[in-house]
Homo-oligomer: A and B are copies of this chain.
């Protein structure tokens, strides 16, 4: 039987895309090998970016190998994220360089390019059995401080990385239910247009 989180697709897509999802429950007993994390970030490395600027940066804190950094980063998360993210084996902060290194001018695609890099690393994570949940709910000024982010960079999202665990590991009824609910998306006809806005592809 298919996993409830595997996408109910209208067109055939790569397994890593179909099977990727964002858990809150992480197996507390499984640590993530550094070698697998390196593969995950190697995937981000090869993402495209405007003028090959590669504006993405990652500050990674594994609970067992960088306990102080993990605790500090956890502290920056909003309460509703901290509740479940405290049990993930790895937390990371994604940052983006807002200026183009060569010219110092604003890089309007910095966040967009960081998104592509995280897209790549998320699919690589799926392929090695890992799962990632990204979080927008965190204290940005706090993250700048604890991760020592230089002024030309900006925090983008935080993320938890680990192996998906049983929904019953979660304290919140709402979170447990979300963990078992199928993933829902708008149909292609709502977001892909043929030639001009609104004409379904």
Contacts and interface: CB of A to CB of B under 8 A. Distances in A.
B123 A54 contact: no
Interface of A: 7, 9-14, 16-18, 20, 22, 35, 37-39, 41-48, 50-52, 54, 56-61, 66, 68-69, 108-109, 111-120, 122-124, 127, 134, 136, 146-150, 156-157, 183-188, 191-198, 201
A22 B157 CA distance: 26
Given A50-B134, A111-B112, 13 more contacts: A9-B46, A13-B124, A17-B46, A48-B134, A52-B185, A54-B185, A59-B195, A60-B194, A61-B195, A112-B156, A117-B119, A123-B123, A149-B197
- What copy number does this chain have within its complex? 2
B9 A35 contact: no
Given A119-B119, A120-B119, A198 B14 contact: no
